[in-house]
Amino acid sequence: MDFDGRVEELFLDLPEVPKDAAFAHISRCGKLIYVGGQLPYGEGRLLFKGRVGLELSSDAGKAAARAAAIQALGVIKGTLGTLNEIKRLVHVRLYIATGAEFKDHRKVLAGSMELLKDVFGTFADCSTEVVGCASLPEGAAVELAMVIEVK
């Protein structure tokens, strides 16, 4: 499957790899690539700040999760040169800044997973976990981490 072509078909604009030397975006171990926590950036800025369920709606959280997945794809493509080196997704973890009473974690995670399934199809069938927490870096609403297997 041509994942780079699929990104173009979906009109996704993947960001450049950030040039932050203090932050390791990707670590490789054999055929596994660990993508460090990606925040919902777009157009060079953090798009979603605040806690989902308090300052932000669940729908805004879902959009933030989608933006974080796009950021992760940009980091992967910028590092590997192409998304076509991906064999499959292994695991996706989403942290959500929430209040104690928040219950829609899976709805927010769907923002990332729907996008990843649009790009990778059945190659995105993987384990997932979603965690609510009190705060995230830079006041971000979500942070996404992934493990992928490459060819």
Model pLDDT for residues 127-139, shown as the tens digit of each residue: 999 999 999 999 9
- As a whole number of angstroms, the distance between CA 4 and CA 123 comes to 14
Q: pTM score > 0.75 for this model?
A: yes
**What is the domain extent for residue 75?**
3-12+24-150
DSSP E strands in 69-126: the ranges are 86-97
**What CATH number corresponds to the domain at position 128?**
3.30.1330.40
- Residue 30 covered by a domain: yes
**Residue 102: alpha-carbon gap to chain centroid:** 21
Residue 94 near residue 136, CB atoms below 8 Å: no
Cα pseudo-dihedral 63, 65, 68, 72, rounded to 10: -130
SS3 148: strand
Model pLDDT for residues 46-87, shown as the tens digit of each residue: 999 999 999 999 999 999 999 999 999 999 998 899 999 999
Query: What percentage of the chain has pLDDT greater than the value 70?
Result: 95
Q: How many domains does the chain have?
A: 1
- Residue 82 covered by a domain: yes
* Mean pLDDT value across residues 33-52: 93
